[in-house]
Amino acid sequence: MTLAERLGPSGRLSPVATADWREALLDHLLNGQRHGLSDAIRTFSGQAERLPRALRVARDRLADSAGEPLDLAQLACAAGIGIRALQLGFRRHFGVSISEMLLDMRLAGLHARLAQAPPDASITEIAFDLGFTHLGRMAGAYREKFGETPSATLRRRMS
């Protein structure tokens, strides 16, 4: 799609598109040809492809709302891109689906809370607070990730 096509009839880009174009232009100017700062820029960036702003926004929004039901339409809207672009971006840049990243965030939260939980803590309540809806699947995923059951983590904390 050309810039003219993206501009549409109004001749103006949305703020999200403007920021994306600005980043792309700067990237091409700084990395497109060798110059006096090429080596410094490559060293600083670690040769890594920069994470697009829309995906950073989506990842941060996902983390902030990890305890809530996943709403792809709202997440894509917050990121300023379409649902399919969001899904493909997560696969390309993070190597996982959006659901897999959300599960990982929830599991990390569960592990942290269980490791700090008081003796009378309820795994069920903590899991539901973090957005888990199926305790059996949660327990299986937890065991796969941490090598022990949630109750073992809680028991270890209490001993």
**Is residue 106 domain-shared with residue 128, that is, in the same domain?**
yes
The confidence score (pLDDT) of residue 119 equals: 76
Give the C-alpha separation, 103 to 70, whole Å. Answer: 10
Residues 118 and 148 reside in one and the same domain:
yes
56 is in which domain, residue-wise? 51-95
User: Of 11-20, 57-66, 111-120, 133-142, which range is least confident?
Assistant: 11-20
User: pLDDT > 70: what percent of the chain?
Assistant: 67
Within-domain flag for 118 = yes
Q: Is residue 24 part of a domain?
A: yes
Indicate if 44 and 64 belong to the same structural domain.
no
Q: What is the mean pLDDT of the chain?
A: 82
Neighbours of 56 (CB within 10 A): 13
Judgement on whether residues 73 and 85 belong to the same structural domain of the protein = yes
Residue 47 has pLDDT above 80, yes or no: no
**105 and 154 together in one domain:** yes
Q: Which of 42, 72, 95 is the last residue of a domain?
A: 95
Give 126 or 26, the one with higher predicted confidence.
Answer: 126
Residue 70 counted as domain residue: yes
How many domains is the chain partitioned into structurally?
3
On whether residue 7 sits in a domain, the answer given is no
Domain presence at residue 3: no
Question: Is 38 inside any structural domain?
Answer: yes
pTM of the model as a whole: 0.67
Highest mean pLDDT of the ranges 1-10, 38-47, 83-92: 83-92
Q: State mean pLDDT over 134-142.
A: 96
Residue 89 in any domain: the answer is yes
Residues 60-94: tens digit of each pLDDT? 999 999 999 999 999 999 999 999 999 999 999 99
Q: Is residue 74 part of a domain?
A: yes
121 and 153 in a single domain? The answer is: yes
- The verdict on 106 and 144 lying in the same domain is yes
Are 36 and 86 in a shared domain?
no
pLDDT at residue number 141: 97
